[in-house]
Structure 1
Amino acid sequence: MATNSVGQLTNSTQIVLSDIEIFNIFIYFVVFALGIVGNGLVIYVTGYKMKTTVNSIWFLNLAIADFIFILIIILYIVTAFNKVWLFGDFMCKFVSFVTVLNMFASIFLLTAISLDRCLSTWVIVWAQNKRTLVKARIICSLMWVLSSGCSIPFVLCRSGENNRCAYECSINILKSLFIYRFIVGFLIPFLIIASSYIAIGVRAKRLKRGKKLKPFRVIVSVILAFFICWFPFHVQQLSFIIANSNGWSDVENAFIKIGPFVNCLVHLNSCLNPILYVFMCEEFKKKLKQSLLLVLETAFAEEHLPFRTSRPSTCSRLSESQGLKQTNETTISSCGSSQDNNACF
């Protein structure tokens, strides 16, 4: 039977996983599989198949943040199986950086999207003139730089020595880090996002355009999913550090026990967005079906068969239809002001 001390584990020790640990590993596997496929498809569809708009740039960057985070889950799976950290100090710091980067990048991008939607609703003429692809890309780049800067303090306090990846700093510094992460990475963005959508609701009510809010359900669902998945994590982390600093050992142990569950929620958030897009966005669903059809036809194509030239392929039919559509296509405004309620991106 495995000992509770990771430092005493040897090659002859039989590692026994508890039910909670098995459940945790199962969730990691599910999230990894769904996240790689789902976010990979979102990156492919929004980056290569859909018309590039300001909204598609936002969602593309969200998918990239989740995809990067999903890649490191395999390290968590290996660690959960072995109950020790096997990847050294550098990878410990790197994994910590990517985890916190994903949180900051996601919430900052969601905040930018909310402000963008709010401005598009209240200042329509200004948004049509000033809301450009170049500015959206610049803002996304700034969000990534800002997120990286916010993540560095957590890397400095992390250590991967002695077969464990954990914080190695005083309790006061750790408390400051957790409070800083909650305020900057959760509370302030939440207030900005909530205020933005309250303003959007007020504007829609004044103009009696309730039906125009239908496209907003996708981004609202993404935001709600983020807060539902990350809020328990922040509560658990803050409660643990408060209990630890006050010597409440029973309370501290209780929050340690729920740690695996809140971590599962955090990881689950990284594979939820593609699922929400598929179920709630008709435009994304349509483009995804077209993309998969093209991929399958290319994979199964047999160019040497003579009957291939007797009728146009699905690829050529789609290319021709897209070419005709582009010749008559006019500039599409923001999702909130679009006449097509299914245009999520």
Structure 2
Amino acid sequence: MKPINASDPEDDSVVSNDTATSLGALILSLVFLLGVPGNFFIVWSILVRVRRRSVTTLLILNLAFADGFLMALTIFFIIYLAKQTWVFGDVMCKGLFYLCNANMYASIFLITLMSVHRLVAVLFPRKLPQLFTEKIVRRVVLCMWAMVMVFAIPSLVFRDVRDDLDEHGKVRMVCAPNHTLPRYVRFQYAFETVSGFILPYAVIITSYVLILRRLRQTKFRRAVRSEKLILAIVVMFGLFWLPYHVINMVQVAAEWYEEGSKQREILDTITQSSRAVTSALAFISSCANPVLYTFAGKSYMRKNGFGFMAKLFEGTSSEQSAAKASRVLATDRTVFSNGDTLNDSVAYTAQNGSVDET
């Protein structure tokens, strides 16, 4: 266990500031109350009530499972912030932060897969059945989870329990980073931000730019409910995770200055005063999706009751033929105007033919 150090330059634990700690505990409490039942209701709806699952539905199932599991862990962090001392031991310290980091990667990678799927559906509709079969999607998701577990290893290695002094001079135990060299700090936080935010988000933004360009070339330009919902998920994730990654970069920048320098002190102060709040905000992204789904499916509540979520996710599979989708467009345009289901097959009539989206 690391000894007491009242002036540790790397004290970026989430309990390093009383005000931020209190606000973080409040945010996490609200997140827990919304996120746990919300995400597991989504999992239950898809597994029990949805009879035919499209690619998008399978990805949303994995996202809801990851978010719901993370929300269940927030109780430990609420206790940590409330007591302002870590009482769960070194193994739980490493394990909980490892699982949280893994969830961050899983969420952004799943959202990236959703965006790429939409891109292929719009730009290369006739290749969609070959590229996104259920078997291929399951294998890709399995590989993604394996990659997630590997990417999160630094948070397992560079963290442990140590004794420290709070702002009032009292001894407390904190679950905090244990970097022994500045280059380890730069590596972990830069790797987190680049691989877990910048690169995936670049793929997502590129996908939607290409999707929008393609839709502008079509005669049928009305946005589909599934497209809007996925875009909303993307935006929400970015808004809630951006502050966390900004603080990561501030931490990285601080390590380039000498200890005791004015610039280092300013950057360390920003990190220590913001870490709890930005970490708590990142948790909000995991409870925001059920709220989005509820608003998207509110038109089904009166008719379907607790089955409204299943009705939202239920639709024809993404492997339907272009001919069938074209018949839907030709004979029943109310499918598009009403947005009946999240994954109804959508055919965009382009200048050079039809483009199917599922």
TM bracket, shorter-chain basis:
0.7 to 0.9
More helix by share: 1
Aligned amino acid, residue 240 of structure 2:
C
> Structure 1 residues 235, 288: closer, same or farther in 2, change over 3 A?
farther
> Structure 1 residues 196, 330: closer, same or farther in 2, change over 3 A?
closer
Q: Deviations over 1:191-242 (max 9, x none)?
A: 1111111111111111222214443010000011111111111111211331
Aligned amino acid, residue 25 of structure 1:
A
Gaps of 5+ in 1: 7-16, 294-317, 319-325
Q: Identify which of 341, 344, 348 aligns with 1:343.
A: 341
Number of residue pairs matched? 298
Q: Paired residue for 1:322?
A: none
| Aligned 8 A contact 1:118 1:196 in 2 | yes
Q: What's the CA shift for 1:131?
A: 2.5
> Structure 1 residues 57, 46: closer, same or farther in 2, change over 3 A?
same
Q: Identify which of 265, 270, 278 aligns with 2:286.
A: 270
- Identity level (%): 23
Gaps of 5+ in 2: 7-16, 164-172, 329-334, 344-358
Q: Paired residue for 2:272?
A: 256
| Aligned 8 A contact 1:243 1:252 in 2 | yes
TM-score (norm 1): 0.78
In structure 2, distance between residues paired with 1:62 and 1:191: 20
More strand by share: 2
Q: Paired residue for 1:61?
A: 62
| Aligned 8 A contact 2:190 2:248 in 1 | no
Q: Deviations over 1:278-329 (max 9, x none)?
A: 1124587579724389xxxxxxxxxxxxxxxxxxxxxxxx9xxxxxxx9xx9
Range that drifts further, 213-222 or 153-162: 153-162
RMSD in angstroms over aligned alpha carbons?
2.9
> Aligned runs of 1:196-275 on 2, under 5 Å?
196-246=207-257, 247=261, 248-275=264-291
In structure 2, distance between residues paired with 1:55 and 1:256: 39
SS for the counterpart of 2:86 is coil
Q: Paired residue for 2:36?
A: 36
Aligned amino acid, residue 185 of structure 2:
L
> Structure 1 residues 66, 201: closer, same or farther in 2, change over 3 A?
same
Q: What's the CA shift for 1:269?
A: 0.9
Aligned amino acid, residue 343 of structure 1:
T
In structure 2, distance between residues paired with 1:81 and 1:198: 44
SS for the counterpart of 2:65 is helix
> Aligned runs of 1:1-345 on 2, under 5 Å?
18-50=18-50, 51-162=52-163, 163-169=173-179, 170-246=181-257, 247=261, 248-281=264-297, 289-291=305-307, 339-340=335-336, 341-345=339-343
SS for the counterpart of 1:22 is helix
Aligned amino acid, residue 141 of structure 2:
C
Aligned amino acid, residue 156 of structure 1:
V
In structure 1, distance between residues paired with 2:278 and 2:87: 23
| Aligned 8 A contact 2:85 2:174 in 1 | yes
SS for the counterpart of 1:343 is coil
In structure 1, distance between residues paired with 2:175 and 2:316: 53
Q: Deviations over 1:70-103 (max 9, x none)?
A: 1211111111121111111111111111111011
In structure 1, distance between residues paired with 2:298 and 2:126: 27
Q: What's the CA shift for 1:344?
A: 1.8
> Structure 1 residues 144, 284: closer, same or farther in 2, change over 3 A?
farther
In structure 2, distance between residues paired with 1:111 and 1:208: 27
Aligned amino acid, residue 168 of structure 1:
N
In structure 1, distance between residues paired with 2:189 and 2:71: 23
Q: What's the CA shift for 1:160?
A: 2.2
In structure 2, distance between residues paired with 1:92 and 1:202: 47
Aligned amino acid, residue 250 of structure 1:
I
In structure 2, distance between residues paired with 1:288 and 1:108: 32
| Aligned 8 A contact 1:88 1:161 in 2 | no
In structure 1, distance between residues paired with 2:268 and 2:318: 53
Aligned amino acid, residue 191 of structure 2:
Y
In structure 2, distance between residues paired with 1:62 and 1:343: 19
In structure 2, distance between residues paired with 1:194 and 1:220: 10
Q: Deviations over 1:99-118 (max 9, x none)?
A: 11011001111111111110
Q: Paired residue for 2:167?
A: none
In structure 1, distance between residues paired with 2:221 and 2:98: 42
Aligned amino acid, residue 187 of structure 1:
I
